[in-house]
Amino acid sequence: MRKLYSRNIFYVPVLLWALTLLSCSSAKHIKYFEDLSDSTLVTKLGIPPFVEPTIQNDDILSINIQTLDPQSTESINLGNIQTSGTGTISGAAASLNPMQASGYLVDKEGNVDIPILGKVRVIGLTTSQAKELIRQKAALSFKEPIVNVRYTNFKISVTGEVAHPAVYVVPNEKVSILDALTMAGDLTIYGKRDNVLLIREGNGGEKIAYRVNLNSSKVINSPYFYLRQNDLIYVEPTKGKAAANDLAQTRNVTILTSLFSLLIIIASRL
């Protein structure tokens, strides 16, 4: 009986060591743009197509007007009020780079209400077009005004198999899918790089889904390379993620069973 007990005691750490080796698989290096040759020093990928987004209801715009007399436009520039509840990063990764958006809210009628200038209809315009329209209106009250218009709540969502899934608010309308994934800390080793889902709002308000293959350099010339306001990126897990979860569950059950067997053996010797 003593020999059986000693033999079982010897096998328990061996079993635990083997289970640890099985659970610690090496992270496979997964490349983007697999179609690019490793031996080519320079590869021209072309110019990504960029279409300026148009202003929609509930967008927040930073509007600044500069003139020879700064005090004359002070009320306009101070009108870029802060809006609570928004930031560069919200959700699980909010602590990485928090900030608040400020600006003029585009109301349900598509207007921004600017001091001195009054209501200006900007819905459906790009920021460049809105800038020119506001400059023309400002020229009626000020001499040689310089106008700047930009988004302060350009929002994109990244979820699924990424390091930091969250809603990201960026003060820049020219954001690529690679930029968004970089902000989210890149894909995990279980993320499908060849089948990333992009959900976008159509002109009629309907949701449209696109599939993006990050393993191909052709994505750079895709109309989905640059993101639009309220885009959602979902990274689907691979089958390896489910297998890893199953392995972890099997490992835990095996360890508990081994410990239970060990307790029985110890109890039998008392």
| Range of lowest pLDDT (112-126, 222-236, 251-265) | 251-265
Look at residue 236 and tell me whether its pLDDT is greater than 50.
Answer: yes
Domain boundaries, position 13: 2-28+240-269
Look at residue 87 and tell me whether its pLDDT is greater than 50.
Answer: no
Which run of H or E residues covers position 17? helix 2-23
Pick the closest to residue 171 from 79, 86, 96, 258 (CA basis).
86
Look at residue 10 and tell me whether its pLDDT is greater than 60.
Answer: no
pTM for this structure? 0.68
131-175 pLDDT, tens digit per residue, is: 999 999 999 999 999 999 999 889 999 999 999 999 999 878 899
- Rank 10-14, 34-38, 205-209 by mean pLDDT and report only the highest: 205-209
User: Does 85 map to a domain?
Assistant: yes
User: Does 12 map to a domain?
Assistant: yes
Contacts made by residues 3-11, CB under 8 angstroms, sequence distance 24+: 5/265, 5/268, 5/269, 8/261, 8/262, 8/265, 9/262, 9/265
User: Does 43 map to a domain?
Assistant: no
User: Does 124 map to a domain?
Assistant: yes
User: Does 223 map to a domain?
Assistant: yes
Question: What's the whole-number average pLDDT of the chain?
Answer: 79
User: Does 76 map to a domain?
Assistant: yes
- Rank 18-22, 179-183, 239-243 by mean pLDDT and report only the highest: 179-183
Structural domain tally of the chain?
A: 3
17-64 pLDDT, tens digit per residue, is: 444 444 443 434 467 888 787 776 777 888 888 999 999 998 999 999
Question: Same structural domain for residues 80 and 113?
Answer: yes
| Range of lowest pLDDT (44-48, 71-75, 88-92, 260-264) | 88-92
Look at residue 197 and tell me whether its pLDDT is greater than 90.
Answer: yes
Look at residue 199 and tell me whether its pLDDT is greater than 80.
Answer: yes
Residue type, 235: V
